[in-house]
Structure 1
Amino acid sequence: MRQSHAVQRNTASPLGNIQLQDRVLAWVTQAMDVVVPQWPLPVFVARHPWMHLEHMSFADALSLLEDMQDVQLRPALSVIQSAVERGDIALPIFEQRLRAWVDEHVPPSLTARLEPVLRALIWEEESESAVPEYVWAFANEVVAAGEAPLSSRKVVVHSNESGHVRSRLAQQTIKWCKLFLDAGQAGWRLPGTQDGLYKAWRHLILRDPALTRTERRRLADWPTDSVEAIAFAIKMLALEEHEAVAYLRAHLAALPGWVGMLSWRGREEGCEIELVVDYLALRVSLEWALYGLTGADAAITVNDDVTKDVALSLAALHRYGGMTRSSWRNVPISTRTELLAIVDRFRRVERWQLWLEAWEDTQAQRMAAACKVPTDEPAEAVAAQLLFCIDVRSEPFRRNLEASGPFATYGCAGFFNLPIKTRHLDCSYAHPSCPAIVTPTVELRESLVEPSLIAYRRRQSGIRLIGDVFKKVKQHALASLVLPELSGPWFALYSFARTLAPSLAGGALERWKSKQVAANTELVLDKGQDDGGTGEIPLGFTVTQMAEIAGGLLRTIGLTEFAPLVVVCGHESLTANNAHAAALDCGACGGAAGRWNARVFAAICNRRDVRGEIVKRFGVSIPDDTVFIAAEHVTTTDELVWLDRPELQGATREAWKLLQAAAKRAQWLTATERIQQLPDVEPVRHPVRSATRRARDWSEVRPEWGLADNRAFIVGRRSLTKGTYWGGRVFLHSYDWRLDPDGSLLASIVAGPVTVAHWINLQYYASTVAPDVYGSGSKTTQTVTSGLGVMQGNGSDLLAGLPWQSVAVDDGAIYHAPLRLWVVIEAPDTAIEQLLAIDHAFCRKVEGGWLRLASIDPLTGQWRDWSVGTSRELAETQAR
């Protein structure tokens, strides 16, 4: 039925040898737009899976990837149907979208013929097996006659055994990537890694027993330089320039996880492009060895799925439009091509895009109606003010805390404007405690307050020694045989305790660990104060830098009048046996807990010299009796943990006591909400206890929902959103447009927090619509490999996204609504116009449909939708 369209090539290169080699790096750079760096598990942070494709529209970029990877990247029909049944998609809004699309893309002369076909396709789940045999024959005739509209397809080497060879190619590539990238997990390290992936592979491949003698012989005279190897393969295939890019892009898209990890490693070492070139050289070399082709009989598969697409489109025209072979012959050739082009585009792309946009329109209208009219009334006196991360999990806790007492909360990026690396006491690694888009400029360290360094280091050395001995014995050929006999009873006892009594056993383990690593430390903040060695970046801040950081953040969020107590709340997650634990911690702090940043920011704001500098630079005066203290919001249990609490007196002490009691009430209320949102959880009497048990239970695949179901990012004063139930779906960033006459504060919010939230949103989106390609599959079948990431089994791609349990209720129902981020800004229209004119990257996101933008004018209360092609109904919605 289906035909493969192989194009025979001669071996004449379109470019000379020297010129071809010079072009390889440019082609690789261009092909890298389908992959992005992937952070390893210990620092797993949200990433935009398609960030390099933003020069295209969202719809076109997804279409390119769908064709290349044979995957659907928009919500499936079953997901759409469930949303319609729940009322999440208003059918009148979809009808409005569909009518507008038909008017714009279907010529009036074809409307009567095509509209019934398009309306039928809206609800159709396609199946190749349902296409009659004669339609396949009809499709072959149409393709042969050149009447088929061609869409972009992957370019790969063709072989009669392509399926088997492709599997071996993936297996071999994964094996060598694992060996090269291993982070200390393997017993034997791959030799030659200092020379790069390709040279290490090239040195050993001729001895690899996984290849046949014939395959090894084909590689005997293969180039030893990676660029030359790619150039040689492209020359033998005689590819045109645009085909060469597509060919390399297909190889990168085949294993985007491993390529992403190589890209990340290269960025860390300052040689990103070199490692990706090594990967491509290895892969194309293996491809030639496994396929056994030469230039004389090389063949390229181009547009392999054209016949299938034509057959499905013709089947729709026949079934719903009454199109037969004879009636097809009576239609002019130009009209035939146009009919097929419209149906093909609508069937593959536009119907899914229309459903997505209608879903987003429905949710946007409801959220706009839930927002309140911003007011300029003086703020009420409060006992304490609290700064929270914009993380959607903070929203329910903030709402319940404000309802429990005289408190005001503010939202900002959880790294609190601190571009820092943090180094724990005696630790050899400095962790970037800021978003991935921020480059750390200062390193901060801990020092011991009391002279107990010897005892602390003795405990740490003992722990490391036990771990090192256990690992070496486990990897030893003979000693490993004895290890189960010695350790088995103890591990069995531990396993029984963690399984039968997770709360008690987990709590005891946490207390033991805290005692072993406990040390009374203080932060070294001042530049030049620490003499503990040198690093890549300076140690400590100057007073001017501290004032710029603290004053800039306070003014950005509109905190210029202060209560006696100001609490700086970082956040972390509490989970057991979770490979993706970093994904539940603070993404703004590089996938770590936010306690470091909270402690640093509070300490900075408590310094009198810094406060004086803030007054000079920003005109923000912090009263002498106002005290900043650091805390941490544990998102799994909604507990507020206090850090570095200084001595409190008078009104500050009373405020802290009041806040302690209110935090307990807020914890109970928020935990109740969270427990009710989790699947298969019966009503519980003690929600906090239940949440704590789930956090410590190592068999729990879903201790919390994380940032799932995030939908919107609202920038504005708290009066716009206060008291409204948002269900933990909204990022809330504080901003007062009255303090930002030049728009610079808004620009910084959009360039930083909005961008990171956009990455988070698209990571959850991709993990939901394509879990096998952009997620990481089920937690129950994951394998942690090389200390870097997870695979399904022992031979898959390095999976880049979130586990299925993080976005879905079960195999048949999703929890996360795969919608693009809806950004709402409280600011006059002139401020939005200025923002879009200055921030070209953000403007490109809006115009390309990568996110959606709306604003509410604080002077008139009028809403405006700035997204291209969105429903006009939202623009008419007024805040109520």
Structure 2
Amino acid sequence: MARDIRTLTQPQLSAIQTACLKLAPSWPLDQMIAVSPYWPMRDEPIEQVSARLSALAGISMLMPASDYLDWYRRGLITEQALQTALAESGLGISQGELVQALERIPEQVPWQPLSGLLDEHRARHKMAWRDEITHQISQFCAAHFQQAQPMLHSNEKPDLYAHWLAVSQRDRGLSIVLDEPDLHRYFAQLPDDPHALIAQALDTFGIQNEQVELYAHAMLLDISGWGAWVAYLRWQGELSNTPQDQTLELLAIRMAWELVLWRYQESQFPGFFATLTHAWKQSMARLTDLPVQHQTQQKPLWIWARAAELSYQQQLHSMLSRPVNLSARAIQCQVAFCIDVRSEVYRRALEGQSDAIQTMGFAGFFGLPISYQPQQADVSRPQCPGLLMPSLVASHAQTDKHGAASLNAGARWQAFSKSATASFSMVESAGWIDTFKLLKKAFFASEQVHPVDKLSNSQSWSLTQNGEELSAQQKAELAAGVLHAMGFEQFAPTVLLVGHGSHSTNNLQEAGLGCGACGGQSGEVNVKVLAWLLNDKAVRAALPELGVEIPEQTRFIAALHNTTTDHIRCYGEKPDAQIESWLSSATAVAQKERAAKLDTQLADFDREALDQALIARSLDWSQTRPEWGLANNAAFVVAPRDWTRGVDLQGRSFLHDYQWQHDTDFKVLETIMTAPMLVTHWINMQYNASTTDNLHFGSGNKVLHNAVGGNIGVFEGNGGDLRTGLAMQSLHNGHDWMHQVQRLSVYLAAPKSAIKDIASRHEVVQQLIDNEWLYVFQWQSSGEISRFFQQRWWPVSAPADRQGEEQKIVQCL
């Protein structure tokens, strides 16, 4: 029986709900995409969010002071950039004082919950309270959220809080593990309702209304991995119009532990409890002011972070500031790639083979909002960005019944193996089969194809919406929309549609190296479907009425860029020998450029040896760094490719083709600024967050990863919180970081008036710009570049003084 039932007041409930919305989602392993963990807080200035997270949970959004000092001494932060950043800050100190400030940054001590205060007095031989709390909640969540229901035998899956309470009240092992007799008895006193639990905790701890949101947020950050999973379930529910939110229940579970500890200490150790109460009151008195203190302490670090960004931007601006000279040339082959930064290296290598090659950049799902479902198979997967809900289903016109049956059987077997009650017996009975598979993979390594991808080799497809096959006219309208968005002005005899995928072995986070625009999958399905559409005679016949004229001899060929080896694989009809030769040569050039970053020894390999070495790396079970993914991403360039052709962007830029003169109503620009720009921002912030604080927003050591619930995520080892974000091996080469932390710089070759109008009509875009989560620049063909900030245009050659009084303002056109 609960000893004190209360209900939340409306101000308390409102504050709790606000806190519950501050955790960003984390996608499952098989659909792993990069996500900004700060996304729900984009309505606040980035420096304010940084201070808040630092104060509440010790989370860092900045690099250590020693890293900035090292970059400065190595010339990676220039004197000019540092002077500009210091002038912008209005801090009123000299450059020398700023360097000195970096050398004596005070330690930023985060706020401590009750369990943290108790750990300060905990005997060394006993497990820390916070570690055990995280472990217990995390193990429970792993069991609760896996597909099979292992802990309570019920026809219906119980609510999260109710399930946890029932399990915890039966668990006598907690008292034994923690060496705290009778601790388990205090769980029996907890109320059945999560709202009542939270109300009791707030009342018991004396938390004022103005402190509730900060306190609740701090509690959620203590179990943020599972908070991210619950946020993902909420996100999916919103996309499918089946709203659900279990964040409040997760918060109630975390607060329940604090309440149990309070009551346990009060009853069992009354003498110490007086000391604890005093310490708690002091801790709560600090809570409200702590974020402000941390923001003041972080100010010098933010100046250095800005200087690092300016150093990169100034270098990039010098490359982009050259006037654009457009020269007409006969195009023999057009090759459309994903905007992914890894494509930039290959595109540059391919363009170097011949002036008759035109490359293009577009979001890797190629404008197809599809999910892929093999005919007669029970499984399907989204092939579009996480921001979207698939509206079409792509499947094969011909059915592979044997393959579909095999896939269904495999899915059922894997579902059974995920059950906690089945796992041990399954290993006992089937272990010898898996041992054979293990030995086969170890000694006879070959490329492993995703089970669903095995069924995607059909050249004829079916597109349905709500169970109805699309008509030829509907297919033509879909195709015309894609071609218009891609910016096709003319069509070459051969058009390659190149999706991308990655290949590595023994890598639970392999989807994180896939195409984010395809939901972490390979782009193979999307390019095959689009090539099928654009080669279809009925679709071709309907396109002229929609303003699209494709020459009869033009053929579209689907292809896949393996970003691990830089091989291009074409499907169906093969390109001619000349194009095959260009692709082969481009592969060798791209491999050579990337080799030194992968392993310095590879830099001296000849062409054939390097190719074999990269293939071997992708098949090596022990290889934890098969490729660097999108590490070191820094810019998103939206402009005609002719403007950047021949410019070495170092594999750091997302490249999206765009010609504003053909976008009369700026709908394409609006789509770019509200979709690809947000996706690239997510990627940038995920890499930044996993670098600055891998403990909270990264997944630690890849070697120690264990899958949770089949595909939910990973543990590092066998416990702790659910780990989200990127592993250290995806960011660090063992000696140095491979990703330099900086906010995304977006360059839009479009009229200033159009950019401003779109930003003003989309609150999300305006928030990202004005709260400085990213930079938006307008780039003109003359080479002039201006920054858009706070509804004004600023020339990049002058500091954007936040006060706006000394500097000249370039007004919007």
TM range (shorter): 0.7 to 0.9
Give the aligned partner of residue 4 of structure 1. none
Give the aligned partner of residue 639 of structure 1. 567
Give the aligned partner of residue 157 of structure 2. 194
Matched residue of 1:416: which SS? coil
Give the aligned partner of residue 167 of structure 2. 204
The 2-side partners of 1:190 and 1:734 are apart by 55
Matched residue of 2:225: which SS? helix
Larger radius of gyration: 1
Give the aligned partner of residue 351 of structure 2. 402
Q: CA RMSD in A?
A: 3.7
Give the aligned partner of residue 125 of structure 2. none
Q: CA deviation at 1:608?
A: 3.8
Q: 1:273 to 1:60 in 2, by over 3 A?
A: farther
Query: CA-to-partner distance for each residue in 1:438-468, whole Å, 9 max, x for gaps?
Result: 121112222426xx63x54576578679878
Q: CA deviation at 1:189?
A: 7.0
1:684 to 580, 605, 627: 605
Matched AA of 2:651: G
1:586 to 515, 525, 534: 515
The 2-side partners of 1:445 and 1:300 are apart by 62
Q: CA deviation at 1:265?
A: 2.5
Task: Out of 261-270 and 169-178, give the one that drifted further.
Answer: 261-270
Give the aligned partner of residue 190 of structure 2. 222
Give the aligned partner of residue 288 of structure 1. 259
Give the aligned partner of residue 172 of structure 1. 136
Contact map agreement 1:863 1:876 (CA 8 A) in 2 = no
Are 1:385 and 2:334 an aligned pair? yes
Count of equivalent residues: 769
2:552 to 624, 649, 657: 624
Give the aligned partner of residue 806 of structure 2. none
Matched AA of 1:286: W
* Structure 1 runs not aligned, ≥5 long: 1-12, 129-150, 312-339, 498-504, 529-536, 646-652
Q: CA deviation at 1:48?
A: 1.1
The 2-side partners of 1:641 and 1:282 are apart by 50
Matched AA of 1:182: Q
Matched AA of 1:703: P
Alignment of 1:354-503 (within 5 A): 354-371=303-320, 373=322, 375=324, 377=326, 379-405=328-354, 406-448=356-398, 453=401, 455-456=402-403, 475=422, 486=432, 490=436, 493-494=439-440, 497=443
Give the aligned partner of residue 805 of structure 1. 729
Give the aligned partner of residue 275 of structure 1. 246
Are 1:829 and 2:768 an aligned pair? no
Matched residue of 2:103: which SS? coil
Matched AA of 2:379: Y
Are 1:669 and 2:589 an aligned pair? yes
Are 1:122 and 2:102 an aligned pair? yes
Contact map agreement 2:86 2:95 (CA 8 A) in 1 = no
The 1-side partners of 2:424 and 2:81 are apart by 66
The 2-side partners of 1:218 and 1:821 are apart by 50
The 2-side partners of 1:96 and 1:765 are apart by 23
The 2-side partners of 1:303 and 1:554 are apart by 63
Q: CA deviation at 1:388?
A: 0.6
Give the aligned partner of residue 323 of structure 1. none
Q: 1:305 to 1:402 in 2, by over 3 A?
A: farther
Query: CA-to-partner distance for each residue in 1:579-614, whole Å, 9 max, x for gaps?
Result: 110000111000101011111111222234434544
Alignment of 1:19-38 (within 5 A): 20=8, 22=10, 25-38=13-26
Matched AA of 2:458: T
The 2-side partners of 1:341 and 1:496 are apart by 54
Q: 1:472 to 1:156 in 2, by over 3 A?
A: closer
2:743 to 820, 824, 832: 820
Query: CA-to-partner distance for each residue in 1:706-732, whole Å, 9 max, x for gaps?
Result: 000001000000111101111211100
The 2-side partners of 1:525 and 1:490 are apart by 38
Are 1:702 and 2:625 an aligned pair? yes
Matched AA of 1:621: E
Give the aligned partner of residue 574 of structure 1. 503
Q: 1:748 to 1:460 in 2, by over 3 A?
A: closer
Task: Out of 587-596 and 257-266, give the one that drifted further.
Answer: 257-266
Q: CA deviation at 1:704?
A: 0.6
2:579 to 653, 659, 673: 659
Give the aligned partner of residue 50 of structure 2. 62
Contact map agreement 2:500 2:560 (CA 8 A) in 1 = yes
Matched residue of 2:743: which SS? coil
The 2-side partners of 1:866 and 1:488 are apart by 57
The 2-side partners of 1:758 and 1:726 are apart by 18
Contact map agreement 1:636 1:703 (CA 8 A) in 2 = yes
The 2-side partners of 1:473 and 1:207 are apart by 18
Q: CA deviation at 1:547?
A: 3.4
Alignment of 1:734-773 (within 5 A): 734-773=657-696
Contact map agreement 2:87 2:799 (CA 8 A) in 1 = no
Percent of pairs identical after alignment? 25
1:74 to 37, 62, 83: 62
Q: 1:688 to 1:119 in 2, by over 3 A?
A: closer
Are 1:236 and 2:204 an aligned pair? yes
The 2-side partners of 1:400 and 1:243 are apart by 56
Q: 1:341 to 1:433 in 2, by over 3 A?
A: closer
Q: CA deviation at 1:373?
A: 4.5
1:182 to 123, 126, 146: 146
Q: CA deviation at 1:170?
A: 1.6
Task: Out of 289-298 and 832-841, give the one that drifted further.
Answer: 289-298
Task: Out of 379-388 and 390-399, give the one that drifted further.
Answer: 379-388
Matched AA of 1:407: I
Matched residue of 1:809: which SS? coil
The 2-side partners of 1:740 and 1:35 are apart by 37
Query: CA-to-partner distance for each residue in 1:452-493, whole Å, 9 max, x for gaps?
Result: 63x545765786798789889994767855766x45973674
Give the aligned partner of residue 788 of structure 2. 866
Query: CA-to-partner distance for each residue in 1:396-417, whole Å, 9 max, x for gaps?
Result: 1111111113211110100111
Q: CA deviation at 1:510?
A: 4.1
The 1-side partners of 2:475 and 2:325 are apart by 31
Query: CA-to-partner distance for each residue in 1:626-647, whole Å, 9 max, x for gaps?
Result: 11121111111111111233xx
Matched AA of 1:240: Q
Q: 1:548 to 1:843 in 2, by over 3 A?
A: farther
Q: 1:22 to 1:77 in 2, by over 3 A?
A: closer
Give the alignment's TM-score, normalised by structure 2: 0.86
Q: CA deviation at 1:363?
A: 0.7
Q: CA deviation at 1:203?
A: 2.4
Give the alignment's TM-score, normalised by structure 1: 0.80
Q: 1:604 to 1:552 in 2, by over 3 A?
A: same
1:597 to 522, 526, 535: 526
The 2-side partners of 1:870 and 1:91 are apart by 25
The 2-side partners of 1:124 and 1:870 are apart by 36
Query: CA-to-partner distance for each residue in 1:642-680, whole Å, 9 max, x for gaps?
Result: 1233xxxxxxx8x63321111111111111111122144
Q: 1:466 to 1:842 in 2, by over 3 A?
A: closer
Matched AA of 1:233: A
The 2-side partners of 1:624 and 1:569 are apart by 21
Give the aligned partner of residue 148 of structure 1. none
Contact map agreement 1:169 1:287 (CA 8 A) in 2 = no
Q: CA deviation at 1:784?
A: 2.1
* Structure 2 runs not aligned, ≥5 long: 123-127, 176-180, 268-272, 801-813
Q: 1:303 to 1:592 in 2, by over 3 A?
A: farther
Give the aligned partner of residue 353 of structure 1. 302
Matched AA of 2:558: A
